[in-house]
Amino acid sequence: MPVQALACKECGSEYELGARYVCEQCFGPLEVRYEYGSLDAESAKRRIQAGPHNLWRYSDFLPFEQTPKYALPAGCTPLVRAPRLAEAIGLRDVWVKNDAANPTHSFKDRVVSVALAKAQELGYQTVACASTGNLANAVAAHAAAAGLESYVFIPADLEEQKILATGVYGTKLVTVRGNYDDVNRLCTELSADRDWAFVNVNVRPYYAEGSKTLAYEIAEGLGFELPDRVVAPVASGSLFTKIARGFDGWREVGLLAGETPTMNGAQAEGCSPVAQAFDAGWDICKPVKPDTIAKSLAIGNPADGPYALELARRSGGTIDAVNDDEIRAGIRLLAETTGIFTETAGGVTTATLATLAARGDIDPDERVVAVITGEGLKTLDAVRGTFEAHEIDASVESFDTALPAAAAV
Ligand SMILES: *Cc1c(COP(=O)(O)O)cnc(C)c1O
Ligand SMILES: [Zn+2]
């Protein structure tokens, strides 16, 4: 397995593969560095294809020695062609990567799988996280499967569905009076003197690696080919940037040929520090106070914001923002054209895709993949009042009165 070290994204200083996340030289973020020199593309491809039907099939490209004995399998979610969605927005080749089809119904199962595998390898008995909701679901569930103790910290005002779907796993659920950025600051303080693996703090470099498996699955699903464009949501910017890193790593080893796809990031207007910086031409983001129905994306001070900006610009993409009404419309558009019901984050992605298409940014023949990261049942309030139900008596007359257009001829 060609994992080499942790390396600083800013100055390149290298560190051992432990539980650390900031560079001691420059305080830059650390990431996992691989040494692919000896890896043969054809045999790597054979190992992938012969692997299990979950994200462990990409073990050659993940930062641990052994897949854990007790784990909740994640990944290998459907990549489906969406011709009716494409037609609705004037395109021809649109695909949906449906990551709601993970064990806890969001893409966070990927990052938690990898973070917990590494945490166990490093000997941790207790895992924790600061979450906007989906990470809490995933940490609680994966810790239960692995037999680890867990503490999850969330803002107290999260959607009830997400709180219930977390507590059920027997985690220690801590609801913090504050927003995500407050929760994250608290967890950073706690991580300093507790012997816990905070999946998105001290083992964040491994957590982030999990997102690459989304890129691997997209490429494998397209027959080891790259799409022309990817539209994906941006909260901290980790997922967005790691999708591109996943493609780039596979290009490096010869599993894929061609350019990095055009990368379009999607944010909610009520929390769009990266989109605002993109528009203003800044290299860094100005923190904001979130106010949006897309709570899973409500990070006002995004750790990977500058890298998301750099990626969008380098790949010819953009970072766009859509408002709450557009998010609701995006949820409905995806549901009505693909049969996939997504949470608010997926509404952000779908609405952004529609905006890009309407603006003429996308050539109709481009192969576009929209990354749908979570399940609609988690944010039911977002669709309340967006359609009408017809209540009737149990009689044909009552039905015919309520829906005259459906009357028998
Ligand atoms: C966490 C999350 C994201 C993206 O998070 P990043 O911090 O940008 O990696 C996207 N969609 C959903 C549903 C999420 O829960
Ligand atoms: Zn550094």
CA 70 to chain centre: 23
Nearest to 295 by CA among 191, 183, 392: 183
CA 364/CA 93 separation, integer angstroms: 8
SS (H, E, C) 121-184: HCCCCEEEEECCCHHHHHHHHHHHHHCCEEEEEEECCCCHHHHHHHHCCCCEEEEECCCHHHHH
Both structure tokens of 402 = 């309520």
Q: What is the 16 CA–ligand 2 centroid distance (Å)?
A: 14
Nearest to 347 by CA among 282, 283, 267, 243: 267
pLDDT confidence of residue 342: 98
Q: Specify the pairing of strand 14-15 against strand 30-34.
A: unpaired
Q: Which of 104-108, 155-159, 325-329, 396-400 has the lowest mean pLDDT?
A: 155-159
* Separate counts of helices (H) and strands (E) for the chain: 14, 13
- For the domain made up of 108-204, the CATH class stated in words is alpha beta
Which residue has a Cα nearest atom 4 of ligand 1?
A: 235
List C-alpha distances in Å: 92 to 133, 220, 368. Answer: 34, 21, 9
pLDDT confidence of residue 82: 98
Asked if residue 175 lies in contact with residue 152, where contact means CB atoms within 8 angstroms, the answer is: no
CA 56/CA 188 separation, integer angstroms: 29
Closest ligand 1 atom to the C-alpha of 236?
7
Q: What percent of the chain has pLDDT over 70?
A: 100
Q: Indicate if the pLDDT at residue 363 is higher than 90.
A: yes
pLDDT confidence of residue 344: 98
pLDDT band (50, 70, 90) for residue 37: confident
Q: Where are the domains of the chain?
A: 1-38, 79-105+211-382, 108-204
Query: Which ligand lies nearest the alpha carbon of 295?
Result: 1
> Residue 266: helix, strand or coil by DSSP?
strand
Q: What is the 106 CA–ligand 1 centroid distance (Å)?
A: 9
Residue 236 in contact with ligand 1 by CB distance below 6 A: yes
pLDDT per residue over 111-167, tens digit each?
999 999 999 999 999 999 999 899 999 999 999 999 999 999 999 988 888 899 999
Contacts with 45 (C-beta within 8 Å, 6 or more apart), sequence order? 224, 255
pLDDT confidence of residue 35: 87
What's the rounded mean pLDDT across residues 325-351? Answer: 98
Same fold, 79-105+211-382 and 108-204: yes
pLDDT confidence of residue 1: 53
Q: Indicate if the pLDDT at residue 3 is higher than 80.
A: no
pLDDT confidence of residue 64: 84
pLDDT confidence of residue 21: 93
- H helices present in 147-237, as ranges: 160-167, 180-192, 204-210, 212-221
Q: What is the 184 CA–ligand 1 centroid distance (Å)?
A: 15
Q: What is the 352 CA–ligand 1 centroid distance (Å)?
A: 15
CA 176/CA 180 separation, integer angstroms: 9
Top pLDDT among 265 and 17 is at 265
Residue 54 in contact with ligand 1 by CB distance below 6 A: no
Query: Which ligand lies nearest the alpha carbon of 14?
Result: 2
pLDDT per residue over 374-393, tens digit each?
999 999 999 999 999 999 99
Both structure tokens of 241 = 């940037």
Q: What is the mean pLDDT of the chain?
A: 95
Q: Which fold has domain 79-105+211-382?
A: Rossmann fold (3.40.50)
Q: Indicate if the pLDDT at residue 2 is higher than 80.
A: no
CA 252/CA 248 separation, integer angstroms: 6
What's the rounded mean pLDDT across residues 49-53? Answer: 96
